[in-house]
Amino acid sequence: MKFTAEQIAGMLNGKVEGDPSIEVNSLAKIEEGHTGALSFLSNPKYEEYIYNTDSSVCIVNDTFSPSSSLPITLTLIKVDDAYSCFAKLLDIYDSMTKEEPRIESPSFIDDSAKIGEGLYLGAFAYVGRDVKIGDNVAIYPNVNIGNNVEIGDGTIVYAGATIYRDCIIGKNCIIHAGSVIGADGFGFAPDEKGEFQKIPQIGNVIIEDNVDVGANATIDRATMGSTIIRNGSKIDNLVQIGHNAEVGRNTAMAAQVGIAGSSKVGDNVMIGGQVGLAGHLKIGNKVMIAAQSGVIGDVKDGAVIMGAPAFDSKEYKKSYLGFRRLPRILERIQVLENKIKALTKD
**Residues carrying an active site annotation:** 243
Question: Which residues lie below 8 Å from residue 160, measured CB to CB, with a gap of 6+?
Answer: 140, 141, 142, 143, 177, 178
283 within 8 A of 301, measured Cβ to Cβ: no
| Opening angle at CA 168, ends 180 and 160, nearest 5 | 30
247 within 8 A of 285, measured Cβ to Cβ: no
Task: Round to whole Å and give the CA distance between 31 and 297.
Answer: 45
61 within 8 A of 80, measured Cβ to Cβ: yes
50 within 8 A of 41, measured Cβ to Cβ: yes
The helix/strand/coil state of 193 is coil
Both ends of the chain: CA-CA distance in Å? Answer: 93
What does residue 270 show for φ and ψ, rounded to 5 degrees? -120, 125
Q: How big is the chain, counted in residues?
A: 346
**Which has the closest alpha carbon to 36: 76, 3, 6, 10?**
3
